[in-house]
Amino acid sequence: MTVNNDPIDVRFASSVQIDDVLKHLNEFQAIATASNGNRAAKTIGFNRTLDYITNFLALKTNFKVTKSFFNLRNFQLLRNPTLSSTINGVVKTHTYSTNLAAAEFYHVQYSTSVTISNNVVLTAIPNLGCSDADWLAAIPSPDGLVALVKRGDCTFESKAILASKYNVAALLLYNDGSTSSNMQPIYINLGQNNRVPALFLSYNLGQSLVSAANDPSRVATIRLTIATDTALNPTGNICADTVTGDPTQTIVIGSHSDSVPAGPGINDNGSGSATNLALAAALSSLLQTSNYPAYKYRVRFCWWGAEELGLLGANYHVTEAKKAAVVGERITDYLININLDMLGSPNFIFGIYDGRTTPTNTPAAAKPGSNKTTTLFQSWFDQNKLPWDYTRFDGRSDYGPFLAAGVVAGGLFSGADAVKTTVQVNKYATMLGGNLGGTAGIRQDVCYHQACDKTTNINEFALNKMVQATAYAIESLGQQPNLKSWLYPTREIQDINRNTPPSPYEYDSINEYFGLPYN
């Protein structure tokens, strides 16, 4: 591998200050507080967030800032949904509540409207409803019936697509009961393209209905109503480009700018958006100095809209890039997407997206570079004697559309609804000190998608380390002599086949592995 003999400059990483990130988080909190408690897409809080981001970029950077808009299908309940079951003539009316701890069922984002006023037979889809075989095995056939499907194995969207394919009257999803936190109904969304009416049930209600539906001696039927408004609303993405660097070789740094309706979204994803703003301002300042080496590559910082509604902003951007003919706007002009989504979880992990676990639809060309990006982040944590964990690269955030389009991706994640294990707590306590190990047996972010996701929900220590790691990665990528060949190497076709990260020890030195210059 060709090696540049110039020493690497690390001023970008050292110039990004945690206080700058926290100032942005305070601004996001103030916006939410003044905007009905959230910054969700299609709300005034979201629009004010976009205004804050664009105003800051105009004031503190010399970047070229662009906004792009796309239409969102609105989702708003016109009235509370209703659900009742009849088993052998015994009618039960089930409880809907926005307090999920008290609810037996909850509405589903992007459910369609339906009125089922006559008793419709319930059928339980075997296994987890993730394959045609599951749906074909259902007795009775789901065609025209209400289908009951358990959480697990595949996405809720995948289950809904199959439900639509098999022409259900309605879809009842229910929790899996695998842990104490997986008993109640949860908020989910089925995406803009969903075409089935759906509700989400508690584990206990789901299990009782499954038992009845699978018992030949009992007749189980359902009545339900869902009334929604489905008007269209414009929603925005923001991108800010360095004025130097080759636009046909672009590094994209992305974070989503929206929260869920339930709360301010300060960790999810104010932390990523604030980090993105601080990184953009710091890099703009450095690139305007005479003694900081300019990157060969354009860097594009983006804030995606409507991630919480199904990665819609990133999907729109990638779809447009696939069709674009303008130089610098084509998907082929993108070398890598670094994704920043949740960086300050209170019961944090230092999670690094694991390139070995890319979704099955990821083109082979994107895998070696994604694996290398995983190892690039690992190197920073190892060099700083900090713990880290792999986190699955399963398409749940805005990197998903980029990977699917064949663009290398990577990034960091401090944890959401997964439970921190005793092994993790012990590892973090040993390496960081006992008070920083966290708490075993509770979620990494106990306020994930809740009203309590405020500035008080941020672990500043964790956020600072994630900011520094990201700056290091961007600077390392930006100073690569030939980033394109490093990320898309023909010499490492064997790593595509074995789908494991190339080992640093296959090279003469760690510098050669990363393509970085020797000191």
Q: Specify which residues 70 forms β-bridges with.
A: 235
Helix, strand, coil in percent for the chain, rounding step 5: 35, 20, 40
Q: Measure the CA–CA gap between 65 and 50, rounded to whole angstroms.
A: 12
Catalytic residue among 27, 307, 308, 475: 307
**Radius of gyration of the chain from its Cα atoms, rounded to whole angstroms:** 24
Burial class (CB in 10 A: 0-12, 13-18, 19+), 406: middle
Q: Specify which residues 236 forms β-bridges with.
A: 69
Cβ–Cβ under 8 Å, residues 149 and 199? no
Token output for 417:
């609804």
Active site residue 104: no
Helices (H), 244-301: 272-287
Beta strands in 279-326 (DSSP E): 297-304
Q: Measure the CA–CA gap between 372 and 358, rounded to whole angstroms.
A: 13
Token output for 12:
């970008």
Q: What element of type H or E holds 223?
A: strand 220-226
Other CB atoms within 10 Å distance of the CB of residue 229 = 11
**DSSP annotation string for 12-47:** HHHH--HHHHHHHHHHHHHHHHTTTT--BTTSHHHH
The residues carrying an active-site annotation are 307
